[in-house]
Amino acid sequence: MNRPQKVVAYIVKDGRIVVLRHADLPWDETGLQVPAGTVKPGELPEHAVLREASEETGLGGLRIVRYLGTGEYDMRPYADATHARHYFHLTTDSKDLPERWEAHEDNDGVGERIRFELYWVPLEKAHVIGAGQGAFLGRVVDDGAAR
């Protein structure tokens, strides 16, 4: 079984978290997600999460508030893989943030470009995040450090 290293980014600002959906794929196939992706060979998870969050959101001024921990997620039956996921609480120092926006990821020029629709939801409503990505939401404390 494949065991890729993944990162998951909870970008929180003013009590809200960034969520996304794959704009060109059916809702019932992808669900509501947060920025996430694969750790490249030789890359540290903390570098990977900032890279993936920036690529998928287009937001600037991203920084890590804290590391939340590591968990596993079994992708079967969708894929024969178990992800080792590193979860991070991030924020952005940008001031003028859009409520809703679109961003694109080019997958390092391999395959088709991915289009995301992004928006903010109140942190207390983030339980709707799918694919096991919400597993560490309870560890996010919006104590003003992320404002």
Q: pLDDT for 74-89, tens place per residue? A: 988 888 889 999 999 9
Residue pair 22/7 in contact by the 8 Å Cβ criterion: no
Count the neighbouring beta carbons within 10 Å of the beta carbon of residue 126. 20
pLDDT of residue 113: 87
| pLDDT reported for residue 102 | 97
Does residue 119 form part of some domain?
Answer: yes
Give me the CATH number covering residue 131.
3.90.79.10
Statement: residue 142 has pLDDT above 70: no
Structural domains counted in the chain:
1
In a domain, 146, yes or no: no
Position 144 in a domain? no
pTM, 2 dp:
0.90
Which range marks the domain in which residue 50 is found?
A: 5-139
Q: Is 145 inside a domain boundary?
A: no
Cα 71 from Cα 74, distance rounded (Å): 10
Backbone angles phi, psi at 77, to 5 degrees: -90, 0
147 part of a folded domain: no
